[in-house]
Amino acid sequence: MGTPGCSHQVSHDGLSYAIPLFHQRKHQLLLGHLLVAPMPTDHAPDCLGLQESLRKFTKETKSISEYMMTMKSMVDDLALIGHPLSDDDIVVHVLTGLGPEYKELNAAIRARDTPISFEELYDKLADHEIFLKREESKKESSHFTAQFNQHFNSNKPKGNSNNRRGQNQNFNNSTNNW
């Protein structure tokens, strides 16, 4: 039957077999590898396409929420086909796709000593988006005020008030002549 402690008994069709432990461990390792192995390589074209899409993806006119959800979806898809990205790689892809209005925040995040999580990056970008909208609103408001003032001032009579007083006297004198 084999050396005790060096084999494992397996029964099949009423027969008992002794499998040496080193074979059992080898099979367990092989099975474990198969269960956690990446997807087969027939997903390579999908992987290359997703990586290219991720590399070219930019925020453009999307909200930060839309941008980050799409980015996260592409990153998750890559992980599902066996090509996960590191947190640092994800942050670099997100920052690379932002426009020039995020350059100060982009520089600050890249200069950090400690890595930033996806969630914290999302929070910072959402806060900056709110700031940008507030600043845009202020610009539009001041632009409207400037246009109003320009229009209002252009409709005022030109000249000094003494001339107007003289015109009124002439008007009064001309009405008395009737």
Q: What is the pLDDT of residues 14-23, one digit of tens each?
A: 665 555 544 4
Rounded Cα distance between 141 and 143, Å, is 5
Would 58 be classed as within a structural domain?
yes
pLDDT tens digits for range 129-170: 999 999 998 877 765 565 656 655 666 665 555 555 555 555
Contacts of 59 (CB under 8 A, 6+ apart): 67, 97, 98, 99, 102
Token representation of residue 85: 């990205």
Would 157 be classed as within a structural domain?
no
Would 172 be classed as within a structural domain?
no
pLDDT at 139: 79
Would 100 be classed as within a structural domain?
yes
Rounded Cα distance between 53 and 33, Å, is 30
Element (H, E) at 17: strand 15-20
Q: Judge whether 50 and 78 are in contact, CB under 8 Å.
A: yes
Would 141 be classed as within a structural domain?
no
Of 10-14, 76-80, 126-130, 134-138, the least confident: 10-14
Would 34 be classed as within a structural domain?
no
For the chain, the domain total comes to 1
Contacts of 94 (CB under 8 A, 6+ apart): 67, 68, 71, 118, 121, 125
Token representation of residue 53: 């899409």
Quote the domain boundaries for residue 59: 42-134
Q: What is the pTM of this model?
A: 0.56
Would 56 be classed as within a structural domain?
yes
Measuring CA to CA, how many Å separate 122 from each of 59, 62, 119, 125, 129? 13, 14, 5, 5, 10
CA-based end-to-end distance of the chain: 142
